[in-house]
Structure 1
Amino acid sequence: MNFVLAAGGTGGHMIPAHALAAELKKRGHGVLLITDQRGARFPGLFEGVPVHILPAGRLGGGPLGWLRAGRSVLAGRREARMLYRDHRPDAVIGFGGYPAVPSLLAATAMRIPTVLHEQNAVLGRANRFLAGDAVAIGTAYTQVERLKKRLEDKVILVGNPVRDEIARLGEQPFPAFDEYAPFKILVTGGSQGATVLSKVVPEGLGMLDPSLRHRLQVVQQCRPNDIDEVRGRYALLGIPAELMTYIEDMPSKIAEAHLVIARSGASTVAELTAAGRPAILIPYPSATDDHQTANARDITQAGGARTIIEEQFTPDVLARQIEVMAKDPQALANAAARSLSVGRPHAAEDLADLMERVGGGLSPIEVGPSLTPRVKATAPTGGVPA
């Protein structure tokens, strides 16, 4: 079969799309990616996959901004229709983000079946707009906010696809950790970094009990404007730290980590739970519909993470939370097991199964029952040749 994957240009959309593309290619299917300029520049993703960049508007800027966005979406829709006439896909899947909208609208107009994948625990704006025409909606969480009740028969719980290298980490033992071993911490703010982590984390690590602080080994992602200051702060504290603006080899960094301090973006949470890594999560307070707080709910309730809202995220609070989790080596191992208990490492395979069924012409009623159990919606809160 031939499939088109349409994704907005952030890591939260691109990483699960990449994982699905790899699984579909492994099965011998043709795959094409439609994204924007940002998505096309992501390093290390979609090697060997044709990439098509479409114009896509973004709402904002008042009536003039809406008009420009509408014109851009219509232009992208025309381009997508021409693309589909040359290489008609069996199905098109959207991973959210405004750049996915023209591709899905074109598919619907040409009676090509569409699937949506929602990575977050709150249905995103683009997916809410497109959900009525979709054959199926694959979700990553058992509860999804902003999902209308009338759509629940389309919803199938598949999880959030992660790269094979990360999915396999959950099959390996948690890194050895006792009162003498190095204490390895990974700090990441998602694909764009997070300044608040650069400000708070070094100070918090410096306040740890000496039994932990003297064993620290830190890997931290920083924004380019923050990296020199953070490097200087770690040097003054005498804490070994490897700093970078983008973590390209995330699987190896997660594999080595005993604890992860991070934002609770969808891909981050999916990778932590697939690998079985305990975490301290600081949801991004400006995320649309506060979806990062919702993303952190399952892993936190399971005991695999502690969530700290940003206004309470101080060096002292961070230090105390780390000590609670790490002063007893068994407690950290237990948190790792609880993180793993809510992971879905086979999400890429399950989503590929769904795409094959939809591409094979199954109706919405036929698609769902033979796959994973359906999600119950919650009330709103607020082709390409191989």
Structure 2
Amino acid sequence: MTSVTRHYVLAAGGTGGHLTPAFALAAELAARGHHVALVTDDRGAAIPGKPDFLPAHILPAGRFGKNPLGWIGAIRAVLEGRRMARRLNETFRPSAVVGFGGYPALPALLGALADGIPAIIHEQNAVLGRVNRLLAGRVNAIATAYPDVARLKAKFAPKVHLVGNPVRPEVLELRDREYPPFTAEGLFRVLVTGGSQGARVLSEVVPDGLAMLPPALRSRLQVTQQCRPEDLEAVRARYASHGIPAELGTYFEDMQARLADTHLFIGRAGASTIAELTAVGRPAILVPLPIATDDHQAANVREMVKAGGARSIRQTGFTAPELAKQIQAIAQSPAALANAAHAAWNCGRPKAASDLADLVESFGAAPIQDVIRVGASPARSADGVAAATARVRGE
């Protein structure tokens, strides 16, 4: 028997938080024999990590800020992006369009809705984002990364699917590895990152906080920290003054290898970061970004903190003494740190990419095709779209 090859469009904003799960889904769909295209903005087309097989289509998408005077231009950009998305639909003929949030996803989803193509949204955070809130009532399915998502109306429950947040395959491979041995005499490896651009507050606080640890713990430290380019030398000098060995860089291409050896993570609480920490099982001290839209990073940490896999410190209270206190609490003994690692691991949803791909594949084919997986035409079937929509809605 031969598999049915279909076409799917993935639409995402130009940040790593939106694109990382999109890339993971693209890899899963491609592995199943489907053709995938990406819709994003200029930043997204150039972001590191985009699979070579994934063509990127840049569509205009205006941002709707607080000043209404800018909305006219934003609306024009969205409408132009919608027209371009519909032209892409004519030639690529996708079975479904999947949006991962961010304004660049809006035109593609609007184009799908206008053309009668099934539309699915995936929410990476524990608070439904603006674009996803705007379209939640019109799309065919809503995939979530957390069991509780704020600003997601209860009336949409029949089309909500908890799948988790897809992570990169190379990170997921680490899930079945044992937590690195942490003994009373061995090295204590700490990984510090602040998202794709780094975070200045981590550079200012973490070196001094680590220096305040008890000598028995401090003497075993081995730190890897991502910094902004302009902060690099100052952070290097600060670690040197404390006598703490630290490897610093603005970007680490082998982040998964470093995560594999990490005993404790310190950093922001972005959705992709938490997904990777829980997929691998690494305890963490998390500092939610205070300016994140709807304070979604603070919401992201709740499940992991409640399970005992992480501790959260608001940036206003993120001081060197507080950091040292929280590290000691989570790493007071080798057993305590290992227990926190296991708690983090239990929060992971390692089948997120596969489960999301299953949901996406449920659109665009007649039920008999999904059972026997034979046929050749990747073109949309009106009957198949209706049947798949009914299945997801539970009709």
Equivalent pair of 1:212/1:327 in contact (CA under 8 Å): no
Residue among 51, 65, 72 paired with 2:77: 72
Residues 1:157 and 2:182 aligned together = no
User: 1:20-59 counterparts in 2 under 5 A?
Assistant: 20-59=25-64
Deviations 1:218-251 (A, max 9, x none): 1111122212211111121121111122233221
Equivalent pair of 1:186/1:254 in contact (CA under 8 Å): yes
What is aligned with 2:128?
123
Partner-residue secondary structure (3-state), 2:229: coil
What is aligned with 1:382?
none
Distance 2:187 2:45 in 1: 38
Partner-residue secondary structure (3-state), 1:79: helix
TM-superposed CA distance for 1:118, in Å, is 0.1
Gaps of 5+ in 1: 370-386
From the superposition, tell whether residues 255 and 359 of structure 1 become closer, same or farther in structure 2 (CA, over 3 Å): farther
TM-superposed CA distance for 1:2, in Å, is 0.6
Deviations 1:303-322 (A, max 9, x none): 00011111111000101111
Partner-residue secondary structure (3-state), 2:104: helix
Residue among 288, 291, 297 paired with 1:292: 297
What is aligned with 2:247?
242
- Identify which of structures 1 and 2 has the higher relative contact order when contacts are C-alpha pairs closer than 8 Å and 6+ apart: 1
* Matching residue's letter, 2:341: A
User: 1:82-93 counterparts in 2 under 5 A?
Assistant: 82-93=87-98
Residue among 146, 159, 164 paired with 2:151: 146
Distance 2:162 2:252 in 1: 29
Distance 1:368 1:112 in 2: 15
Partner-residue secondary structure (3-state), 1:132: coil
TM-score by length of structure 1 reads 0.93
What is aligned with 1:253?
258
Distance 1:257 1:299 in 2: 17
Distance 1:114 1:244 in 2: 40
Distance 1:368 1:305 in 2: 36
What is aligned with 1:137?
142
User: 1:80-229 counterparts in 2 under 5 A?
Assistant: 80-229=85-234
TM-score by length of structure 2 reads 0.91
Gaps of 5+ in 2: 1-5, 366-384
Distance 1:266 1:30 in 2: 26
TM-superposed CA distance for 1:368, in Å, is 6.2
Distance 1:107 1:118 in 2: 18
Distance 1:2 1:161 in 2: 20
Distance 2:305 2:345 in 1: 12
Equivalent pair of 2:364/2:388 in contact (CA under 8 Å): no
TM-superposed CA distance for 1:168, in Å, is 2.1
Deviations 1:128-149 (A, max 9, x none): 0111221100000000100112
Distance 2:326 2:146 in 1: 26
Which portions of structure 1, spanning 4 or more consecutive aligned residues, are displaced by more than 6 angstroms? none
Distance 1:220 1:29 in 2: 38
- Percentage of identical aligned residues: 60
In angstroms, what is the RMSD of aligned CA positions? 1.4
Distance 1:90 1:69 in 2: 28
Distance 2:323 2:200 in 1: 15
What is aligned with 1:323?
328
* Matching residue's letter, 2:40: T
Residues 1:4 and 2:9 aligned together = yes
What is aligned with 1:332?
337
Residue among 277, 283, 286 paired with 2:288: 283
Distance 2:292 2:69 in 1: 24
Equivalent pair of 1:44/1:248 in contact (CA under 8 Å): no
Partner-residue secondary structure (3-state), 1:120: coil
More off after superposition, 223-232 vs 68-77: 223-232
Deviations 1:161-210 (A, max 9, x none): 00112112121100011011111001111112111111100110111111
Equivalent pair of 1:167/1:346 in contact (CA under 8 Å): no
Distance 1:192 1:25 in 2: 29
Partner-residue secondary structure (3-state), 1:31: strand
